[in-house]
Amino acid sequence: YIRAELETSDLLLLMYHPDLRGGLIEQGIAYALGIPVWLAHPIGLPLSTTARECATKLIPYLTTEHLLTQLHRELPTLTPHGNSTR
């Protein structure tokens, strides 16, 4: 099911937390399919090296409001295939 959903996606926005387990599966599938992965992660918490290396873009944030500001800034730069022009 997840693979089928990702195959029709231009981008995976993954909210990362050090305790996250299942989301890394989705990230791996997206990575294997060549789908860009934007990895949002809390500043100051550990970030998996694998998650970092498989991400197209890292979006560090302090608060939900900070994350929303970051996303509003980045989303207009998307190309039709989820890649950022920045």
Residue 86 has pLDDT above 60, yes or no: no
Q: What is the pLDDT of residues 29-69, one digit of tens each?
A: 999 999 999 999 999 999 989 899 999 999 999 999 999 99
Hey, what domains does the chain have and what are their CATH numbers? 2-77 (3.40.50.450)
Q: Which string of DSSP letters, residue by residue, matches 43-70? A: TTS---HHHHHT-SEEEEESSHHHHHHH
Residue indicated by tokens 């900070």: 66
| pLDDT band at residue 77 using 50, 70 and 90 as cut-offs | confident
pTM over 0.85: no
Least Cα distance to 47 among 34, 36, 58 occurs for 58
Q: Are 14 and 26 in contact (CB under 8 A)?
A: yes
Round the average pLDDT of the chain to a whole number and report it.
87
Instruction: Report the candidate in 35, 42, 26 with the shortest Cα–Cα distance to residue 80.
Output: 35
What values do phi and psi take at 60, rounded to 5?
Answer: -75, 145
* CA 53 from centroid of its chain's CA atoms: 11
